[in-house]
Structure 1
Amino acid sequence: MTPVRLAFLWHMHQPPYREPETGAYLMPWVRLHATRAYHDMAWMLERHPGVRCTVNFTPVLLEQLEDYAQGTAQDRLLELSARPPADLGAEDRQQILRSFFMVGWETNVKPLPRYWELLQKRGRELRGVDLARLAHSFGDQELQDLQALFNLAWMGFAAQADEPAVRALREKGRGYTRADVDALLEVQRRIAAGVVPRWRALQDRGQVELSTTPYYHPILPLLCDTDAAHRALPGIPLPPRFAHPEDARWHVREAIAAHARRFGRPPAGMWPAEGSVSPEALEILASEGVGWAASDEGVLLQSLPAAAPRLRSVYRPWRVAAGAGREVRMLFRDRALSDVIGFTYAKVPARDAVADFTAHVRAVADAWARDGQPGAPTLGVFLDGENAWEHYPSSGHEFLDRLYDALERSDRVQTVTLSEATAAAEGPPIARVHTGSWIEASFRIWIGHREDREAWAALGRVRDALAQAEERGEVPAERLARARQHLYAAEASDWYWWYGEDFTTEQAAEFDALFRAHVNRAALLCGVDPPPETQAPIKRAGAPAPGALEAKPLREPVMLLTPTLDGRETTYFEWQGAGLYRPGQHRGSMYGGAQAFHVLRFGFDLAALYLRLDPAESAARAAEVATHVRVSVRSRDGQRWVDFPLEPDGAPRPGAWRGQALGRLAFAQVAELELPFAALGLAPGDRVDLAVHALRGEVEVERLPRYGYLALTVPDQDFERIHWRV
C-alpha cells in the first residue's frame, strides 16, 4: 500500500509587543516561548531526522527574537527579574505577585515544590485581595525565588537537557541567589540567539521547509477589502469600508524579503494569517511569487460544489485560480486531527494520544482505498507550534518523541513538506476560492463584534489621513514612513482576536493599549488628531474569567418541556423555553473549534433532564469526530458520568453509568438525550452542575461548556408559575 503523505505545518507567531512611544516590550512572550517552543521543536526534530515537516515563522516574531538575542529588548517582567528584591518598590513587588505565576499551574508550577508553595501563599484568585498587604508579607528571599522559578518554569525540555545551569537550578529548588537568576537570564538570551541558526541548519540539511506569513500577521482579505466579510456572513454589520490591497501587498513582499535575509533563501510558500484567503488575496500571493498556500478544510468545502465528498476533497492538494493566468497550489488541513494536538492530547497519556493520532491517519488511508481512489491520500495537519506545549506534561517531550518515533518507523506514513505535498496537485483548478479563515470559514472573529468595528473604523480614519497627507505633501516623507509602519503594525490580526466576547485573556488591556498606541502615533505623525475611537479603551471589561466554576448560558430554561426523543426537530416548538449555550462564549487564547457540536440546549420536565446537541457541520461529521458523549452531572451527593454512543441513525440507545443502563440518546439530525431525575438520585430543588464531553475513544475532543459547569435546579410544580412571562 502506498504510504499516506502526512504534511505537518507548525506555525510560530507572536504579535508586535513593542510599545510605540517608549520602545519597551509590554509582554514577555517572545522571550519565554524562545526557551520552550522554538528551541524544543528544533531539538526534537534534530533527534528524529526521518521526520520531514514545514515550520512557519512570522517576520514580526523573528524581528523581536533578534532584539532579545542582541540584548536590546527589555520587557517589564525581564526588568523585574533582573533587579534585586531589595531594590524593588511596592508596585514592583505587587507586579511580581500578579505576573510571575503566568504559566500552566498543573504542568509547570506543581512539579517545582517551592513554586507551588509560593503559589499557595499568594493564592489562586486575586480578585478582592489587598495586593499591597499581600506583597508586604513576601520577604526578599521569597521574591528572589519567584524571579528564578518563573523563568525556570518557562525552560522547555531542550534547555533542561542541554543546559547544565538549568538542570542544576531545578535540582536546587529554593534559596536562589542573584547569580542564579542572572545565569538563567543569560541562558534565555543565548537560546534566543540560537533559534534562527538552529532552524536554518534544519532547512539546509533538507529536513525542514521554512515558510512565512504576511509581515505583521494581518487578515489579508480584510486588508484588500473589509466588505469581503459579507461573502461568508451576508448580514453581519461592518465598519466603514477599508480597502487597501497595496497594504496587503506590502505585508507579503516584505515578509518574503525578511525571510530570505534570515534564512538564505525566499520561502516557497506562505501560511496566510489564520488560514485566511480570498480570490484577491491569492492573486497578490501569486503575483509576488508565492508557490503554495494553505488553509482549513471548511474553506475548501465551501469552495467546491455542495455535493463534493469530503474524503476525496480534503485529502489531496489543489490548484487554485489566483488572477489572470496564475495559480497557487494549496493543501487544506484536517481540522479535527490538527485541533486534537493543539487542544486535547495534552490531557491524554502520550502513548494513547499517539495511538489515536496514528489510528486516525490509517483510517483515512483505509477509507481512501475503499473509495477506490488512486495512490494515497495527502493529509495536512496545520496548527500553532508554540502555545499548546505549556499544557503538556514536560512541555510535550514524551508526546512529540513518541509521535515522531512512530512516524519514522511506520511503513504506512511518509512525512512531507508543504512544497512536496502540493507538488502533485493536478486536475482542474478551483475557479474561485471561498473567502474565509480556519475559524468558521469566515472572518467573524476579527470583524464581527462592536469592538472590532470600532478598531477598524479607527484604523480606517488614520489610513485615510495618511493618504491625504501624502497627496498634500505637507508632512516630511520620513514622518509619513514612520506613520505607515505604525499602521502596518495596527493591521495585525492579533488585536482584533481579543476584541469581542469570544476570547479572554488577563492581558486584554495591554493588547488594546498597544493597538490604540500604534493608531494614535500614526495619526500624530500624519499631523492629525487621533481618532475618537482610540481615546478610551476599546476593550470592555467584565469578560468571564476562564476556569470559573459556573459558566453562563445565553439563555436559562423558562418552561417545562418534554421533547420527542428521535434525534430530529420534530416540531418548531419542541425545545421552546430551553436553556441555550454556545461554546464561542468562553474560549481561551487558542481556539479549539466546535469540532462535533456547536450548540447545547438544555431543559426538563418534572421527571427528567433533556439535552440537545446540534452538530457543527453534519451528523455524519460529528460521528466521525466523536464516538460517544459523556454527560457529567454533579450534585451534593457526588458526581455521575453517563456515556452515550453516537450512532446517527435516530434509534434511541441507552446510556451507561458504572455498567448500568441510565437514560437514552437518539442521534439523527441532532442528538437528543434524556436523563431521569430519579435515576440520578435528584429531587426537586436540588442544584445540579452539568457538562457534556464529546470523546473519540477516551480522547476528549470537545467540552461544553469549555470551562466550568452549567448550573440548574431540579424543577418542582411551581417552576412555570415562577418563570411565567407576559
Structure 2
Amino acid sequence: LWPGSWINGDFSVWIGEPEENAGWGYLLQARQALKASGLIQPDPMADPPQDKNSLQYQTYLAYDEMYAAEGSDWFWWYGDDMTSPSNDDTPFDSAFRGHLVGMFSAMNKALQLMGKPTVQVPDFPPLVQAKPKAPVGPFTTPPTIDGQILPSESWTSEAGVFQDADSGAVANPNDDIKTVYYGYTQDKFYLGLVFNLDLNQKINTPYSVSLYFSHKHITNADTGEFVQNPFNQTDRYGKELDFLMGGAAFDVRLDFSANPVRLKLFKADGNEGWIDGGSVQGAEIGGPVGAGTQVEIAIPFSALNLTFGDPSEFLVVTGDGGGERDRAPNLGGKVVFEDPTNMVYVTFEVDVSGTLLPLNTYGPINNPPPPDGKGIVYIAGNQDKLGNWIPNKIALRDDGQGGDSTPNDRKWSKTFGFMRGTLLRYKYTIGVPTDENKWAGTEEFPLTERGFTVTKNPQCKKMKVSDIFADRPQPSGTLGPHSVLQDCIQ
C-alpha cells in the first residue's frame, strides 16, 4: 500500500496546519494519560461488557473513546485545505474534543473503581479558527478603549478580525497572540489584541508588543503622486517584515518595562535602525486588566503622518530581551487600505462549456449554468475580494460587462485589483444565491485549490488567468494543466 492519502499521495491532508498540529497534541496528551493509568487494553473486537457500572465496561469505554478520537477523518477536516460541505467545521471539532473528554471521564470512573486517584480532565479549547473578515467601514460607534473586547462593541460587528495562524499549536511556547481585531474612524486606527497569556505577569519586564505600520501619503490621487517616510524591511530584532508596501515606517511599541505600560513611537531610519520618537500624541491604551489577556489601542492617523484612506499595512510583533517571540499575521502584513499606485488588475476567466472536461468530473453540479440551467459561476479564495473562502458569494459574469469580454460565450469572468506580490488561492463554484456557504453540489473539485502570485513587476498593470472548470491542479496551490496565465499586460 502507498503511504498517504489519495489526494497527493502524502500525509499533508492530516498534518502540518495549526489546527491539525494542535489536534495531534491533544491526542498525544490523552493517549499518554491512558497509558499512565495502567488500565489494561481490552480486546477491541469483543462485545462491550453488559454491566455499565463495572470496571471492565468503563475500561472498554475509555479505550473505545480513544479509538474514536484517533480516527483520521477528524484531521481530514481540520485546516484550511479542507472544509465540510456546510462550510462549518465546528461540529466536527466539537465531536472530536468530546471523544477526548469522554475518554478521561470513563478512565476516571475506572480508576475510582480500582481505588486509585483520578486524573484532572484537561481543557481542550476549540481548534477551529473563525474565518478572517475585513472591516465593514469606519466604526459607527468606536469601541471603548478599556482593555475589554466586548461582544456588544463594534469589534464584533464592524471590525476586521483574523486569528494568529499558529494560535493553539501547543508545541510553540511563544505563541503569545491569539486574535487580532482592527478598525478605524475617520481620524484614528483601532487595534484589539487577544493573547494566550496573562500580560499582567509581563509588567516590569523587557516584554513589548510592537505595531509596525507602513507610511505612504497620497498627495494627488489623479496623478498617483505621493510622499513616503523612510521605511525598514526588518523589525527591531532583524526579522524580515515582508510588507507588500515595502516596509514599516513606524514601530508603535507597547512597553511593559514600567507600570503602567507605556506607548512609545520609533521611526525607521531607512537603514534598518529605529529612532526614538517619544510618546504617541493622542493615543489611548486599554489593558491589561482582569485576566490580562486583552489589550486595546487607538492611534490618531496624524501621529503616523497619515490621513484616512492612505495606503497602510500593519504587523503585530511580541518580543522580550531574548528577541522576537510571536507575530501576527505570520506571513507578511495585514493591509488596512490598499495602495492604488501599486495595484495590478487581475482578470479571472473560467470556461464552463464542458467541452474539454465535464462540469461534474469530480462531483455533481446541482444548478448548471446557461443554457443547461440557471446556475451562476462564482469564485472563492483567500482574499477579502474573493470572499475569504465563502463559496457562492463572489459572482462572475457572462454578459460582456464588468471585465467580461463576450456575452453568453460560456466563459465567465471578473476583474479584481490586487497589490503586487499578493499570493492568490482560489477555486470556482456553480450555484445560486441560496447556495452561499455550501460547497456540496457546487464546487469544481474537492480538497484542492488553484493558485499563483500577482506579479511584482512595476511595469505590469494587468494580468489574466484563463481556466477551465474542473481542470484540477496538481499539486494544490498551482494552476490547472490547461490554464493560461498572462502575467504582464501593460
**Common fold by TM > 0.5:** no
**Structure that is richer in strand per residue:** 2
- Normalised by the length of structure 2, the TM-score is 0.29
Q: Does 1 or 2 have the higher relative contact order (CA < 8 Å, sep 6+)?
A: 1
If the length of structure 1 is used for normalisation, what is the TM-score?
Answer: 0.21
